[in-house]
């Protein structure tokens, strides 16, 4: 697979207005939203571009402004297994904002995509200085991770049930 390339900043989403549609930021006031918007960088990737690989170091979260991103795992002797196809308004890579472990999956541009990125260091600084933003974002992030864990548990239970039949 191709490595991620850095792309120039885009002007189309320079105001990062698409952030208002992202669940992670929905509870923010206008002032808080402006602070989050100020730490975002815009980027673009062509369809098929690997945004990050499983096992790589993660230092930012990604928000999809337009297009689609496929999150997948590489299964030994089975190839790529798509876990999700994310669309505008979705975010991914958020686990890298919380821990220093390697990425748990691949992220691949399914189509041409416009993305906003938020670096761990910029978000850490913002959350340190604004406790109310920290409370709101971390609470939403906790609910997101909990929902994704429940979904994974359900998938695992279904796979185990199918395996028991054979």
Residue-by-residue pLDDT tens, the chain, 166 positions:
444 444 444 444 455 677 888 888 888 998 999 999 999 999 999 999 999 999 999 999 999 999 999 999 988 888 888 889 999 999 999 888 888 889 999 999 999 999 999 999 999 999 999 999 999 999 988 888 898 889 889 888 887 888 776 6
Distance CA 135, CA 78 (A): 41
Bin 50: left if φ > 0, else alpha if -120 < ψ < 50, else beta. Answer: beta
User: How many CB atoms sit inside 10 A of residue 104's CB?
Assistant: 14
User: How many CB atoms sit inside 10 A of residue 151's CB?
Assistant: 12
Per-residue DSSP letter, 24: G
Q: Confirm or reject CATH 2.60.120.10 for domain 17-164, answering yes or no.
A: yes
Cα–Cα nearest to 60, from 129, 6, 135, 133 = 6
Question: Which residue ranges make up each domain of the chain?
Answer: 17-164
Q: Are 137 and 61 in contact (CB under 8 A)?
A: no
Distance CA 144, CA 130 (A): 21
């Amino acid at each position: 697979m191709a490595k991620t390339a850095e792309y120039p900043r885009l002007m189309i989403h320079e105001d990062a207005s698409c952030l208002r549609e992202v669940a992670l930021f929905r509870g923010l006031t206008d002032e808080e939203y402006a602070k989050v918007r100020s730490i975002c960088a815009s980027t673009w990737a062509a369809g098929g571009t690997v945004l990050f690989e499983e096992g790589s170091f993660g230092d930012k979260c990604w928000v999809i402004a337009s297009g689609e991103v496929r999150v997948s795992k590489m299964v030994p002797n089975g190839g790529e297994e798509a876990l999700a196809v994310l669309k505008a308004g979705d975010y991914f890579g958020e686990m890298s904002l919380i821990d220093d472990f390697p990425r748990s999956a691949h992220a691949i541009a399914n189509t041409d995509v416009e993305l906003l990125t938020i670096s761990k260091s910029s978000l850490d600084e913002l959350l340190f200085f604004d406790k109310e933003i920290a409370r709101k974002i971390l609470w939403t992030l906790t609910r997101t991770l909990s929902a994704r864990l429940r979904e994974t548990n359900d998938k695992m239970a279904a796979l185990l049930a199918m395996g028991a039949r054979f």
